[in-house]
Each structure stands twice: as C-alpha cells, then as structure tokens.
Chains A and B, each alone.
Chain A
C-alpha cells in the first residue's frame, strides 16, 4: 500500500542513528576530557631516548587499543562526501575518539610510579568498513623505588 516505505525507513534510521550516535559521542568526549586530565602528568614522547636518563629505571611495553564503529548516519554522510570530496568531519571525530581512547588506555595501564612514556607510536587499522582500531604503544619508564 505504501510504496515509499523504503524512504520512510531510511529517514527514520538516519534520525535515530544521528540522535544515538551524537549522544554517545558527546558522552565519550566528556569522559575523554576527564580522564585525560587525570593522566596528564605522565609525559608521552616519541623520542627513542627517555628524558629520564638514570640507571635506576625499569621499563615496560604499554599497549592501548580501541575499536570504534561508525553509525548509519555517519556512514551515509561519509558516502555522500565520498562523491564530492572534502573534509569528512563525521569520521574525524570518530578517529579522534579512537586515538585518544587508545592513548588513554595505554597511559592508564601504566603503574603508579611511571615517570614517562617514551618511544610512543600510534597506528590505526580498518577492522571492517565503518569500523576501525587505533593502537597506541610506548615504553613506560618507571623509577625504582
């Protein structure tokens, strides 16, 4: 009876996924800011040589990773952008969240007496279309008590 049911379903889907995706993203960004503030005293550098040059140090490999998925709205927006080109803001925020979450997880996995994280690297991979993983890794430098 209603032939335009596809169009209605797509519109509803877009509206719902925009609302849910937006609220999840906002919540995540709030959390990120909070947690970043808590861990900001651990310096992270990509230097091969740690700033803390001492014989009384312990080192440990830290790895933090985060897999994040896009929503239907973001995917549709990105697909449209894929035709015309330009900054894909919808994916920028997604990747930003993945990177920051991965770095945070790495930093949070450090023990109490960590003074810095050296040799820091970050990389992203595609898990499947619209879903990606950010992996952050570095060497934690611990001061011996």
Chain B
C-alpha cells in the first residue's frame, strides 16, 4: 500500500505477498465429500468383516451355554403369571408340533407375558420369548398370536440376537483401534445395522410363516396381522415411511404382508 513510506535505516525493499504458500488451495467441501465416501466404505468394510467373523463364531456357541449366560431369571412379572394372558400364550405355543420345534436350536424355550401396553414381542438370548399384553390384547385370532411367537422362534432359528450382538461388539473393537473416530462413523454403522436388522426380520417372517403352516394354522392370519399393524399405525406410519425409512429396525407392516403374500402364491 504505502511502500514509499519513509522508514529510516532500512536497507531492504518490501513487497506485498498475495497468497500464502502454507495454505493448500483445495476446496474443503470437495475434500470432505471424498473423505466421507472413503470413510463410509471403510465402515461398511469393517461392518461386513465383523459379520463374517460372527458368522463363524455363532455356530460354535451351544444354545445351552447361551441360556446359562443370559438366564433373565428375574424378568418374570408375577402379576401376569397365572392370568388369561399367560394361559393364552401357553395354549398357542402348545399348538406348535414337537417335530417343528426339534428343527430349531436346542433352547429351553419359555414364553412370558408381561403387562405393558406396547404392541411388541421380543426374543431374549437364551430362549425366552417376551410378549407384551398390549399385543396379546390386540390380536383377535390365536393363529395371529401363533405367527408372532413363530416369528420370534424364527429369530432363535437364525440366532439373530447373537449375530447383532457380535457385530456390535466387534465394531466397537474396531472403533477402539481406529482411535478418534468422528461420530459420523457411528451414524454409518447404525444405518448398516438397521438395514441388517430389517433383513433379519424378513428372514424371521418366513420362518414364522413356515412354523405357522406346520402347526396347521391359517397362513392368511399372518397377513391379517400385518394389515392390523398397518391400520394401527395409520397416517403416522405413512409419514414415518418418508422421514424414517432407513432408520427402522423392522420393515413396514404392509411390506411384510406383501412378502408373505408372495410366499403364499409360490
């Protein structure tokens, strides 16, 4: 600017520098995009590697050992132990023939009704199936309930809980090795894990369908059940589909109904 300004005793002529050589002139957005893609691939790779390792390890764990590790002895809710809810569960479970059960892993299967308005059922590691009273009240026919139980048995058949748990565990191990990992890694892993979970549900649905058929139940009740769920979700379900599709652990009821219809036609 004012290079001609007098500065006594200066032997040097000053010049302006426009750019700093110490700063890379690259676009940060472009760089970020490239890194993000690379990073997602890395996470996906780790996710599938952990899946492959888990696939080797899970068959080596006997169901009896699993039941010992996770016994969940204190989960029973005494208030529903001798109620119509529990009785209905036991009655429906008894419909499943011994031959079908023998095809499944050798778990000490037990059904437990729990007082809760949530419409859900869970397969706990070690062979316990939790069914909430909300679901037992919702389903009209016994075959619908049988399908729900059969679906949970399907999870045991593929030992899904061990697979998900193993993947989570191995992934956190890899994460520890990677050191400081941006939270985006967790997000990517979560998306992949949710996708995997939906696959497991579909697999468990086909198991459930098969078990229902073997037990002499009416398979159309399974489709009815999903239509019932869809009706229950209503408009909210449609909204959720748009905003939340990739984050769901379960596929949409209508999708599941459609899949079962396809199996039926085959």
Q: Do A and B bind each other?
A: yes
Which of A's residues lie within 8 Å of B, judged by CB?
A: 1-4, 6-7, 10, 18, 22, 33-34, 36-38, 40-43, 51-52, 73-74, 76-77, 79-84, 87, 89-90, 92-93, 95-96, 99-100, 113, 115-116, 143
- By the criterion CB–CB under 8 Å, are A10 and B248 in contact? no
**A interface secondary structure, majority:** helix
* Cα-based distance from A115 to B8 in the complex (angstroms): 7
Q: Which residues of B contact A73 (CB under 8 A)?
A: 28, 32
In B218-266, the 8 Å CB interface with A consists of 236, 240, 243-244, 246-248
The reply to whether the CB of B102 lies closer than 8 angstroms to some CB of chain A is no
New A-B pairs, 4, CB < 8 Å, besides A82-B179, A89-B31: A38-B1, A38-B2, A80-B38, A87-B26
Residue of A nearest to B42 (CB): A83
User: Which 5 interchain pairs have the tightest Cβ spacing?
Assistant: A89-B24, A40-B14, A3-B247, A80-B35, A115-B9
Q: A4-B244, A10-B183, A41-B14 are in contact. Are A80 and B7 (CB under 8 A)?
A: no
Q: List 28 A-B contacts (CB under 8 A).
A: A1-B236, A3-B244, A3-B248, A4-B246, A7-B187, A18-B28, A22-B28, A40-B3, A41-B5, A41-B7, A42-B7, A73-B28, A73-B32, A74-B28, A76-B32, A77-B35, A79-B181, A79-B182, A80-B36, A82-B180, A84-B35, A84-B38, A84-B39, A89-B26, A89-B28, A90-B31, A92-B23, A99-B22
The reply to whether the CB of B11 lies closer than 8 angstroms to some CB of chain A is yes
Interface size for B (C-beta < 8 A) is: 44
Q: A77-B28, A77-B32, A115-B10 are in contact. Are A96 and B182 (CB under 8 A)?
A: no
* Cα-based distance from A40 to B16 in the complex (angstroms): 8
- By the criterion CB–CB under 8 Å, are B42 and A93 in contact? no
The reply to whether the CB of B77 lies closer than 8 angstroms to some CB of chain A is no
In B163-185, the 8 Å CB interface with A consists of 178-184
* Cα-based distance from A40 to B263 in the complex (angstroms): 80
- By the criterion CB–CB under 8 Å, are A41 and B3 in contact? yes
- Shortest C-beta distance, B118 to chain A (Å), equals 16
The reply to whether the CB of B60 lies closer than 8 angstroms to some CB of chain A is no
Q: Which of A7, A18, A116 has the most CB of B within 10 A?
A: A7
Q: Which residues of B contact A6 (CB under 8 A)?
A: 183, 187
* Cα-based distance from A81 to B182 in the complex (angstroms): 10
* Cα-based distance from A1 to B240 in the complex (angstroms): 7
* Cα-based distance from A59 to B238 in the complex (angstroms): 77
Residue of B nearest to A79 (CB): B182
Q: A41-B5, A41-B7, A42-B7 are in contact. Are A89 and B247 (CB under 8 A)?
A: no
Q: A33-B18, A38-B1, A76-B182 are in contact. Are A43 and B32 (CB under 8 A)?
A: no
